[in-house]
Amino acid sequence: MMMDSRGSGVLLHITSLPGPDGIGDLGKGARLFVDFLAAAGQRYWQLLPIGPGSRIFDSSPYMSLSAFAGNPLFIDLDQLAVDGLLVEDDFVERPEASEYEVHFDEVIPFKNELLRRAYENFQKREPDDDFAVFCRSEADWLDDYCLFMAIRNDQRQAAWCSWPIELAQRDAEAISETRLRLADEIGYYEFVQYYFARQFSALRDYAAARNVYLIGDIPIYVSFDSADVWAHRHCFRIDSKTLQPTHVAGVPPDYFSATGQRWGNPLYCWQDGRGRDNAALFDWWRARLRRIFATVDVVRIDHFRGFEAFWEIPADEETAIKGRWVKGPGKAFFDAVSDDIGELPIIAEDLGVITPEVEALRVELGFPGMKVLQFAFDSDAANLYLPHNYQDTNCVVYTGTHDNDTSLGWYFDPEVSEDAKKRVRRYVNSNGDAIHWDFLRLAFGSVARTAIIPMQDVLGFGTDCRMNTPGTCDGNWRWRCAEKFMTDYLAARLRAETKFYGRCC
C-alpha cells in the first residue's frame, strides 16, 4: 500500500523545472529532479494538476480545459527531435528564456509552433500502431477533448457556450460534419496527447526505478469552459436554454473574507431528476479517477469537504454570501468508485473550517488529511496544526502549500503577528535565522506518516518565489527552479535530515 510507512517528499510543479524552453517539461530537467530526490532520500514528488491551462485564467493548473488531458507545454521538444520529428533548424528561434520565471506569452507560441511542425512530420511517416492503439484505448475522453479543442481553435478561443448553437448544443449532424471538416486539427490534438502520455509514462517509470513515486493533484470542480462540461453537460448544473451555470461553487463567508469566495465553477448534478444517484456523473468520476491513477501513484483531491457537503451559490449572485450547504454524495460515492477501480490512494485536502461530518467521512474512508505548519502559530497550544496535537499518524504534513507564501516569506511578512513569530521560535527552540529548516525539521519530526516540503522551502527562498497568491488573477504559477540550485550538498543535507527522522526510503 502506498504511503503506509514514514516517508517524505518535495512539492514542485512541472512548470517550475529547469529546461531550455522557458518552462519545465518532461525531459532532462524532470529526470535531474528525480535524481535529486533519490539522492536526497525522498520517496515522493508532488505535482500540481497537469491538465492544459488557459491564458484566460493566467495558465492556472486549477482551471484546466480538460480533467483528462495533459498540458502540451510539458512535452519535451528535445525528445521529439530525438524521435526524428524535429530537426536542428526548428530550434533556431528558440527564445532566450529566464531560468527563474515562466513567461507564458513567449513560451506558448514557440512550443505550439514546434508541436505543429512535429505533427506535420509525424503525418509523413508510416502509420504508427502505438498511436492508433492509444487513440482507441483513450477514446472515451480523447474524442470529445480533441473535437472540443479543434472547434475552440476554429472559433478563435471562444468559450463553448458562445459557439454556433448547433455546436454548443452538440447537435449530432453538426458534430458529424465538424469532425470531418476539422479532421486534421483533431488529429493534431490526438498527436499531442499521445506524445504527452508517452513522455509522462517514461518519466514515471524513470522515477519508480529510483523509488520515487508521483503524487498528483485534482481539483474537485472543473472549469466551465472545458471539454468535460461541454461533452457531459447533464452532469453539471447548466441551464439547457442559456447554457450558463444555474449554481456555482465556492465557500461561505469566514474569518478571512466577509463575502466568502465565489469560485464560479459549475456544480455537479449528484442526483438525477428522480432523486437517485446520477449514474452518468458517477461514470464520469470513475473515468476521471481511473485516468489519474493510470498517470500517478497517489492523488490529492482539492476541496475534499465538497464530497460531504458543498456551498451552493446561485449563479446570478456576485458574492458567496447567499449560498447554502447541500449534502454531497458521501461515502457511497467512494464505495462505488473503489468497487470499480480498486484501492484509492487519496490525500484529502481538508484545510479550513472542517465539520465533524467531514472529518468522520475522511476517517471512515481511511484517507490521510493535511496539516500545514504555517497555520499552526496564530492561536494557542490547542491549534490543531501544531504537531503535538496530531492525533493520528495517517496525515500529510506540509510546511506550506502552493497557495501559501514560502516559509521564509511567511516569517518576514509584516502581516504575520510578532506573537506568532515568537511562538514558532519558542516551539522550535531557534532564533529564526534558518526558519525554513526549522519548519522542515518540525515536519519531519512529527508523527505524520508523510511530510511534503515545497522546493522553495528546501532552498530557503522568499516571497518572490511564491507560486500562487489566492484571490489574485495575474502573475502566479511562474516560479522556476534553476538547475544550479539542485546541488549535491543540498541533496546530502536533506538526506541527512530525512534519515535522522526515520523517513529515508
Q: Phi/psi at 459 (nearest 5 deg)?
A: -85, -20
349 labelled catalytic = yes
Placement of cell 500517478 in the chain: 296
Cell numbers representing residue 394 in the block:
495517517
The C-alpha atoms of residue 269 and residue 173 are separated, in whole angstroms, by 27
Backbone angles phi, psi at 227, to 5 degrees: -60, -30
User: Rounded to whole angstroms, how far apart are CA atoms 38 and 491?
Assistant: 9
Q: Name the phi and psi angles at 17, rounded to 5.
A: -70, 155
Is the alpha carbon torsion for 221, 224, 229, 231 positive or negative?
Answer: negative
> Considering just the CA atoms, what is the radius of gyration of the chain in Å?
23
Residues 6+ apart with CB under 8 A from 303: 219, 220, 221, 349
Taking every pair of Cα atoms in the chain, the longest distance, rounded to a whole number of angstroms, is 71
The answer to whether the beta carbons of residues 36 and 89 sit under 8 Å apart is: no
The one catalytic residue among 349, 405, 457, 497? 349
Which phi and psi angles does 213 have, rounded to 5°?
-120, 145
- What is the C-alpha end-to-end distance of the chain, expressed in Å? 15
- How many other CB atoms are there within 10 angstroms of residue 137's CB atom? 10
Task: Give dist(CA 471, CA 218) in Å, integer.
Answer: 19
Segment holding 229, helix H or strand E: helix 227-231
DSSP structure class, residue 5: S
Residue 357 bears catalytic tag: no
Catalytic residue among 302, 312, 405, 497: 302
- For this structure, is 171 an active site residue? no
Query: Which residues, in sequence order, are bridge partners of residue 218?
Result: 301
- What is the C-alpha to C-alpha distance for residues 377 and 422, in angstroms, rounded to an integer? 9
Q: C-alpha cell of 252?
A: 461561505
| Interatomic CA distance for residues 23 and 314, integer angstroms | 38
d(CA 98, CA 478): 11
**C-alpha torsion angle, residues 213, 78, 60, 93 (rounded to 10):** 160
Sequence-distant (6+) residues with CB within 8 A of 436 are 399, 406, 407, 408, 457, 458, 459, 460
How far apart CA 297 and CA 347 sit, in angstroms, is 11
Among 277, 359, 403, 413, the active-site one is 403
Active site residues: 302, 349, 403
